[in-house]
């Protein structure tokens, strides 16, 4: 389970002074569910996910992942999560198989257990035909399959996806979407950020609309449609965001 409570992150900027990237973001995500953070670029989604992944330290607030506190138990948190984004990088000089094995070793797998796990992922993600190809020679779709494998090689109970289809073609995006659905079927806890409405409608059990670092609304897709009186999620999103702009004016 993921429990975020009043997560807040501020930065000091020479020109703008104190910048509030995220303000008191709270939500809960349970195993077998996909929780979506929906917002425009710069809304605070990535900052929120980076705090959950212990890549950034919160200015205020707290969160637990799989029972571990992100500030008190950061190493346990990292062992409990897989993190995937649309810009996840690979080491170009390693082969696909070497890449997966490398991250397995980083997460404590060795010897026969590591070999079995790599073999299973190569088969599951259909990496076999290019497993010995260097990562810098792989296609975008092939690279993303290797990225998926490296993110789940240690069988984490929690998956964090930060706009994982950004910049990808339709076929590669479908691979990612299907993988996220499989995570839910496998009873993993999934938090997922996006600005693409169709992804939210297809994937998310619960959605938080994030605007200017604040949760503007939360609920199921259907509940947010009913709340706004809009049939399309895109129109519901715009109505909620625009109402915040009017309140702030």
Contact status, residue 10 vs residue 65, Cβ threshold 8 Å = no
Task: Give the residue numbers spanning the domain of 175.
Answer: 2-248
Rounded Cα distance, 109 and 96, in Å: 17
The one-digit pLDDT tens for each residue of the chain (249 residues) are 999 999 999 998 888 888 899 999 999 999 999 999 999 988 999 999 999 999 999 999 999 999 999 999 999 999 999 998 877 789 999 999 999 999 999 999 999 999 999 999 999 888 999 999 999 999 888 998 899 999 999 999 999 999 988 878 888 888 889 999 999 999 999 999 999 999 999 999 999 999 999 999 999 999 999 999 999 999 999 999 998 876 664
Q: Which residue do the tokens 């659905």 mark?
A: 181
What 8-state DSSP symbol labels residue 165?
T
Q: What is the pLDDT of residue 173?
A: 87
Q: What is the pLDDT of residue 60?
A: 96
Q: What is the pLDDT of residue 247?
A: 64
Do strands 189-194 and 158-162 pair parallel, antiparallel, or not at all (unpaired)? parallel
- Within 8 A by CB and 6+ apart from 106, the residues are none
CATH number for the domain harbouring residue 232: 3.40.50.300
The domain tally of the chain equals 1
Give me the sheet containing 214-219, strands edge to edge: 81-85, 158-162, 189-194, 34-38, 206-211, 214-219
Q: What is the pLDDT of residue 16?
A: 80
Partnered with residue 37 across adjacent β-strands are 193, 208
Q: What is the pLDDT of residue 116?
A: 97
Partnered with residue 211 across adjacent β-strands are 214
Q: What is the pLDDT of residue 85?
A: 84
Dihedral of CA atoms 214, 199, 92, 46 in degrees, nearest 10, equals 0
Q: Comparing C-alpha atoms, which of 115, 116, 169, 124 is closest to residue 148? A: 124
Max CA pair span of the chain:
62
Compute the C-alpha angle 168/160/150, nearest 5°. 70
Q: What is the pLDDT of residue 77?
A: 96
Contact status, residue 126 vs residue 170, Cβ threshold 8 Å = no
């Amino acid at each position: 389970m993921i429990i975020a409570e009043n997560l807040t992150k501020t930065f000091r900027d020479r020109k703008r002074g104190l910048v509030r990237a995220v303000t008191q973001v709270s939500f809960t995500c349970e195993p077998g569910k996909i929780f979506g953070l929906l917002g425009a670029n710069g809304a605070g989604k990535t900052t929120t996910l980076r705090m959950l992944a212990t890549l950034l330290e919160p200015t205020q607030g707290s969160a637990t992942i799989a029972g571990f506190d992100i500030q008190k138990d950061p190493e346990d948190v990292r062992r409990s999560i897989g993190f995937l984004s649309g810009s996840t990088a690979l080491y170009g000089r390693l082969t696909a198989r070497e890449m997966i094995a490398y991250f397995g070793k980083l997460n404590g797998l060795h010897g026969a257990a590591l070999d079995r796990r790599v073999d299973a992922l190569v088969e599951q993600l259909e990496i076999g035909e290019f497993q010995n190809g260097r990562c810098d020679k792989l296609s975008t779709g092939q690279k993303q399959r290797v990225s998926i494998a490296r993110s789940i090689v240690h069988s984490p109970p929690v998956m964090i996806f930060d706009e994982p289809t950004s910049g990808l073609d339709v076929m590669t995006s479908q691979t990612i979407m299907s993988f996220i659905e499989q995570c839910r079927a496998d009873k993993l806890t999934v938090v997922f950020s996006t600005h693409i409405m169709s992804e939210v409608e297809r994937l998310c059990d619960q959605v938080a609309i994030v605007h200017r670092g604040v949760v503007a609304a939360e609920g199921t897709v259907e509940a947010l449609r009913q709340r706004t009186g809009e049939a399309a999620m895109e129109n519901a999103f715009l109505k909620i965001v625009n109402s915040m702009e009017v309140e702030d004016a």
